[in-house]
Amino acid sequence: MKKMNMVIAQSGGPSMVINESLVGAVLEAKKSARIGKILGARHGILGILGGDYIDLRKVTEKKLLKIAETPSSALGSCRKKPTADDCKAIFEAFRKLDVGYFFYIGGNDSADAARIVAEEAEQADYPLVVYHIPKTIDNDLRSCDHTPGFGSAARFVASAIKGDDLDNRALGGVKIDIIMGRDAGFLTASSALARVREDDGPHLIYLPEVPFSEEKFVKDVKAAMKKFGRCVCAVSEGIRGKDGVPIGAKLGSGETDSHGNVQMSGTGALGDALAKVLKEKAEVKRVRADTFGYLQRSFPGVASKVDQAEAMAAGRAAVKAALAGELKKGTIAIVREEGRKYRVAFAPVPIRNAAKYTRSVPKEYIARNGHDVTAAFLEYARPIVGPLPECETF
Amino acid sequence: MKKMNMVIAQSGGPSMVINESLVGAVLEAKKSARIGKILGARHGILGILGGDYIDLRKVTEKKLLKIAETPSSALGSCRKKPTADDCKAIFEAFRKLDVGYFFYIGGNDSADAARIVAEEAEQADYPLVVYHIPKTIDNDLRSCDHTPGFGSAARFVASAIKGDDLDNRALGGVKIDIIMGRDAGFLTASSALARVREDDGPHLIYLPEVPFSEEKFVKDVKAAMKKFGRCVCAVSEGIRGKDGVPIGAKLGSGETDSHGNVQMSGTGALGDALAKVLKEKAEVKRVRADTFGYLQRSFPGVASKVDQAEAMAAGRAAVKAALAGELKKGTIAIVREEGRKYRVAFAPVPIRNAAKYTRSVPKEYIARNGHDVTAAFLEYARPIVGPLPECETF
């Protein structure tokens, strides 16, 4: 079989473990005699279009392993949906470089970008094996039990809520914490992992999957204040009213990316608006709001060990599947194996399974009262997130 | 000498190491035959006024040491300036409980509260040894080279900026990070510790000590964008214009505590306002703003080891000084010893040295351009903050 070169790139929002997947793929590729050059394109398909590559064979294994543990996308990222013209330019570039394998690490939009490239390559008769490697802190890929990046972001969120709940214990009042998750509430739900004692926060959890009502919110907070004398609320940035429009998007700048996503992170508007509601209607004097923002996906030193290992394994699995050659346009599904002990398998599946459409928090993970999660969710999330820092109180 | 009971309490904003000071004082008190009961008042002087105490002799050493490592104020906190009537009620309560020693852990407002109690006790002829134990993430006590709590909050800030700079590297544009520090910019200045390579952020640092001008800000960002193709800004929540009024306070709710401090944390308003300025005037398309908020003082698992040890030592030093009896109304000064190796001493000094008035970042720590810190600041801060998580890039 002819030796072919490979291109790998990162796309979409960074995570704490997306470099693990990159390095896993590179290390696996290095083991194969059928892969020639290993080229890292900078800033996703923008680097391919601009011919901006790093020769990843030249990077020492020691350096690669350090990069694996570093948050954010070491190759740089982009949020670009390739057009038909972009694809033509990509194949022209690939032809010159003898590229036969293309790996794209990212979320559902990046999977869709990879799908477009793969389908256009087929149309253009360009022989290209395309693999998407899953990554998203939102945990909303339909193809995976959970996605690399989620466990570490969830560990940040649960740790932050744990500390913030202690802070709220000290000074009282209501604390609102806005947590990432455009369409899916998995990350916000993970705040519940912070609880150890019965009166630990978060006392209220609002997911985008449950229509948000200001009246219910005010009522819930009043009830929590009565019960606990204080209240910590974990609120998804994606909460939406009955009209289905995210409340944060209405308050924000209205800025959109090329996949049509409205900006929600990188602003404190939603938290401030909810704090205002409580001050006016719930008669609470001390209300504070924090938006956890980009720290959730980029804070160094708090990654989940399980998440790190799985992200690297997903990268390796993509290269193995691409070399196996049975499926030419694939993504790696992460499948949880049955049994009492937590174990996962990495299986190649058609790329369409990950592309475009997202997965929501299933009903069995949402408490009936609409402002909490179930024990089933905690059981689902705990092994992925791993142990949290221990805290002690009187 | 007659055995007397002691009361200890925590006040003001929590920190990651305020419990180290509490536990240090308790462990030291346990060693003395002259101290009877060791009572922890819940929520500062509110607990004394309400008779809400924990018998700290009954808490096991194992549990105490775990509490020491836990962020936030385990006894609960308050922001209350005692009135003359409060003091009368305090002495009445203390008389019934045979209290001869009072320890109050907190910042400058808490030192002032302790000073008021001490002076009123003298007026009322109530024999009371009062010691303030320094704590503030703002690092603005005039009595200390640096304050317990600062090193750990600074470690959170520098780590967050390190990860956020990598995030900004991946997707570009301008990132604004709002950092705590009502009157002093030490915490914001510490963001500079994140830098390793020449093009690492933060690229611009704005402290409350330098009058903030919107025009200069826009100009600085444009220049940084030209030089680095991206820009990370570390901005103090306390920045103020030439009129001396904090910009964030003008945008906020106007809520004040009993010491007259206007609310600045717990809102994203300042970051959002600055992002709007840049979008409109610096012609940058992608501008994001995060407000680090309460996570800076409460996040578990990221404390500085030096800060933890010093906070405990400060608690011990206060009890030792109170028992020594030379100074009846004191606070503990942290003094950096001369010499190449970092070493500090803990010295009892009059309580007035810490009370009320704050310390600013000295001129020699601020770069001439008005948007950076000097090498002298880095040298000052590095040993207190300790090593940061290592990150690697291509």
List pLDDT tens digits, range B112-157. 999 999 999 999 999 999 999 999 999 999 999 999 999 999 999 9
Q: Which of A259, A272, A284 to mutate to test the interface with B (most CBs of B within 10 A)?
A: A272
Which residue among B253, B268, B297 places its CB closest to the CB of A271? B268
Domain identity same for A27 and A52: yes
Q: Say if residue B249's pLDDT is above 90.
A: no
Domain identity same for A135 and A41: yes
Collapsing DSSP states into helix, strand and coil, what is residue A176?
A: strand
Q: Where are the alpha helices (DSSP H) in A287-368?
A: 295-298, 305-324
Domain identity same for B127 and B142: yes
Domain identity same for B12 and B141: yes
Q: Is A183 a catalytic residue?
A: no
Subunit contact A288:B298, Cβ cutoff 8 A: no
User: Per DSSP, which regions of chain B are E strands?
Assistant: 4-10, 35-41, 53-55, 99-106, 129-134, 173-179, 204-206, 230-236, 287-291, 329-336, 344-350
Closest listed residue to residue A177, CA positions, set A234, A219, A137, A126: A234
What is the average pLDDT across B242-270? 75
Query: Residue B107: which domain range?
Result: 4-149+302-353
Can you read off the two tokens belonging to residue B372? 């950076």
Can you read off the two tokens belonging to residue A157? 């969120």
- Domain CATH number, residue A263: 3.40.50.460
Strand order in the sheet with A287-291: A204-206, A230-236, A173-179, A287-291
Gap between the Cα atoms of B121 and B302, Å rounded = 40
The confidence score (pLDDT) of residue A262 equals 67
Give domain status of residue B392, yes or no.
Answer: no
Residues in B closer than 8 angstroms to A275, CB to CB, are 266-267
The confidence score (pLDDT) of residue B363 equals 97
**What is chain B's alpha carbon radius of gyration, rounded to the nearest angstrom?**
22
Q: Which of B11, B38, B70 to mutate to test the interface with A (most CBs of A within 10 A)?
A: B70
The confidence score (pLDDT) of residue B263 equals 66
Residues in B closer than 8 angstroms to A10, CB to CB, are 170
Which residue among B43, B170, B279 places its CB closest to the CB of A76? B170
Question: What is the average pLDDT score of chain B?
Answer: 95
Closest listed residue to residue B136, CA positions, set B112, B109, B113: B109
The confidence score (pLDDT) of residue B265 equals 62
Domain identity same for B20 and B130: yes
pLDDT band at B40 (very low <50, low <70, confident <90, very high): very high
Residues in A closer than 8 angstroms to B167, CB to CB, are 14, 71-72, 294, 297-298
Residue B261: partners with Cβ closer than 8 Å, 6 or more residues away: B79, B109, B182
Gap between the Cα atoms of A214 and A202, Å rounded = 18
Which residue among A70, A75, A301 places its CB closest to the CB of B159? A301
Domain identity same for A13 and A91: yes
Give the Å distances, CA to CA, from A257 to A10, A12, A249, B204, B209.
17, 10, 13, 27, 38
**Catalytic annotation, pick one of A138, A164, A177, A372:** A138
Give domain status of residue A100, yes or no.
Answer: yes
Gap between the Cα atoms of B388 and B200, Å rounded = 14
Residues in A closer than 8 angstroms to B149, CB to CB, are none
Domain identity same for A172 and A95: no
**Catalytic annotation, pick one of B138, B140, B177, B220:** B138
Q: Which one-letter amino acid corresponds to residue B305?
A: K
Subunit contact B162:A294, Cβ cutoff 8 A: no
The confidence score (pLDDT) of residue B269 equals 87
Domain identity same for A194 and A251: yes
- The residue count of chain A comes to 394
Contact (Cβ atoms closer than 8 angstroms) between residue B75 and residue B9: yes
The confidence score (pLDDT) of residue A209 equals 97
- Domain CATH number, residue A79: 3.40.50.450
Domain identity same for B27 and B143: yes
Q: How would you class A361 by CB atoms within 10 Å of its CB: exposed for 0-12, middle for 13-18, buried for 19 or more?
A: buried
Residues in B closer than 8 angstroms to A287, CB to CB, are 266
The residue in chain B having the minimum alpha-carbon distance to the alpha carbon of residue A301 is: B389
Closest listed residue to residue B312, CA positions, set B41, B83, B12, B15: B15
- How do residues B279-320 score in pLDDT, each as one tens digit? 999 989 899 999 999 999 999 999 999 999 999 999 999 999
Gap between the Cα atoms of A324 and A26, Å rounded = 16
- Digits of tens for pLDDT over chain A (394 positions)? 689 999 999 999 999 999 999 999 999 999 999 999 999 999 999 999 999 999 999 999 999 999 999 999 999 999 999 999 999 999 999 999 999 999 999 999 999 999 999 999 999 999 999 999 999 999 999 999 999 999 999 999 999 999 999 999 999 999 999 999 988 999 999 999 999 999 999 999 999 999 999 999 999 999 999 999 999 999 999 999 999 988 987 776 666 667 776 666 667 889 989 999 999 999 898 999 999 999 999 999 999 999 999 999 999 999 999 999 899 999 999 999 998 899 999 999 999 998 878 899 999 999 999 999 999 999 999 999 999 999 999 9
The confidence score (pLDDT) of residue B266 equals 65
Domain identity same for B237 and B175: yes
Give domain status of residue A115, yes or no.
Answer: yes
Number of domains comprising chain A: 2
Gap between the Cα atoms of B152 and B158, Å rounded = 10
Can you read off the two tokens belonging to residue A98? 């003898």
Residues in B closer than 8 angstroms to A292, CB to CB, are 295
Collapsing DSSP states into helix, strand and coil, what is residue A329?
A: strand
pTM of the model: 0.96
Helix and strand tally (H, E) in chain B?
A: 13, 11
What is the average pLDDT across B71-79? 97
The confidence score (pLDDT) of residue B2 equals 81
Strand order in the sheet with B204-206: B204-206, B230-236, B173-179, B287-291
3-state helix, strand, coil in chain A (%, to 5): 40, 20, 40
Domain identity same for B71 and B111: yes
Give domain status of residue A390, yes or no.
Answer: no
pLDDT band at B388 (very low <50, low <70, confident <90, very high): very high
Subunit contact A295:B290, Cβ cutoff 8 A: yes
Give domain status of residue B129, yes or no.
Answer: yes
Subunit contact B391:A267, Cβ cutoff 8 A: no
What is the average pLDDT across B193-203? 97
Residues in a beta bridge with A289: A176
Give domain status of residue A392, yes or no.
Answer: no
The confidence score (pLDDT) of residue A355 equals 84
> How far apart are the CA of A42 and the nearest CA of chain B, in angstroms?
9
> Can you tell me which residue has the tokens 């002495």?
B91
Domain identity same for B24 and B134: yes
Question: Residue A364 carries which DSSP code?
Answer: G
Residue A200: partners with Cβ closer than 8 Å, 6 or more residues away: A165, A194
Give domain status of residue A341, yes or no.
Answer: yes
Q: Which of B272, B274, B296 to mutate to test the interface with A (most CBs of A within 10 A)?
A: B272
